[in-house]
Amino acid sequence: MSATIIDGRAIARRMLAEVAAEAAHLSGEGWAPRLVSISVGDVAAAELYVRNQQKQADGAGVAFEARTYPPDISLEQLTGVLHGLNADPRVNGIIIQRPLPAHIPVKELQRAIHPLKDVEGMHPASIGNIVYNDLALGPCTAVAAVEILKTLPLKIEGLDVTVIGHSEIVGKPIAFLMMGLGATVTVCHHMTRQVAVHSRRADAVFVAVGKPGLVTGAMLQPGAALIDIGINRIETPEGPRTVGDADYGSCAEVAGWITPVPGGVGPVTVAMLMKNAVLATRLQKAQYRDAYAIAN
């Protein structure tokens, strides 16, 4: 395999060290960053994410509180909980764990979170700000993927980039983020004819679709960077495995750089969540200071 494997865990460790220093500084000023995680029902998949977030928060000096609500809680009740957290100055960030029960649309909850406490970067205002190249609190996975690309020895300005997948919280934000950095971006989706035609001419390819093995080595330009954001669980003769959207073996023979799954985008996404928690705390501190100055 010729590709250089991008160590997402190492990138995440560097980011978390910076977050810990900033969190300590804010704590010394009386603004200790604090996150509240909201889960609904007894969902094993959500519990795994919560434990990982708790671990990273502990290492970054960010207080973390996990709350679980019964599966039959109503949308109105849960929205009321979020409004209470919005009004609590001791809470600096709110995380909505997925999946949610069918009667609770996640977009409604994301809209209910105050934009300054939207550490996941999924409020419509947070997504919309990216169009204006404002990265105040961007969507964690999309920003993490772009941050990984920025660590490579590539000149972003003028880079030809193909994004495979156009979801509102990953594919589309990546496209706008890369355009903001000066790249030329093509976005492919389920109605795109001949995706390989676009990906083969790209210097960097992002893929976030949720289909294991979608991207093969034959679809890449030799030496291209491949940022695989997909997380899929598949069955193999050796047992279940977690894989991305790329056929790792064939892609690693062609790509110049490749993110593994796991160990690539995932750790950086969690580190970005902690970075957003610290940034949200700083923004709220400034807001309270300005409001106090006006009142006095």
Domains of the chain by residue range:
29-114, 138-266
The two three-digit tokens of residue 34, written as one number: 């604090």
Domain 138-266: which CATH number of 3.30.70.360, 3.30.70.20, 2.30.40.10, 3.40.50.720 = 3.40.50.720
Listed as ranges, residues in the chain with pLDDT below 70 are: 1, 45, 292-293, 295-296
| 89 preceded by a cis bond (ω within 30 of 0) | no
Residues 6+ apart with CB under 8 A from 146: 174, 177, 178, 181
CB 73 within 8 A of CB 40: yes
Contacts of 34 (CB under 8 A, 6+ apart): 62, 63, 64, 65, 90, 91, 92, 93, 281
Residue 289's pLDDT is 78
Pairwise CA distance, residues 68 & 5, whole Å: 37
Cα dihedral 38/265/127/58 (nearest 10):
40
Predicted confidence at residue 292, as pLDDT, reads: 63
Q: Where are the alpha helices (DSSP H) in the chain?
A: 8-28, 44-60, 75-87, 106-112, 124-129, 140-150, 171-180, 195-199, 248-252, 265-295
| CATH of segment(s) 29-114 | 3.40.50.10860
- 29-114 and 138-266: identical CATH topology: yes
> Residue 58 contacts by C-beta under 8 Å, 6 or more apart in sequence?
64
- Mind listing the pLDDT tens digit for each residue in 115-162? 999 999 999 999 989 988 877 899 999 999 999 999 999 999 999 999
Per the CB < 8 A criterion, the answer to whether 171 and 147 are in contact is no
Which residues are 161's β-sheet partners?
185, 204
**Residues 40 and 10 sit within 8 Å (Cβ to Cβ):** no
Q: In terms of pTM, does the model score above 0.75?
A: yes
Spatial distance between the Cα atoms of 185 and 74, rounded to a whole number of angstroms: 41
Contact 133, 72 (CB under 8 A): no
| Chain centre to alpha carbon of residue 293 | 35
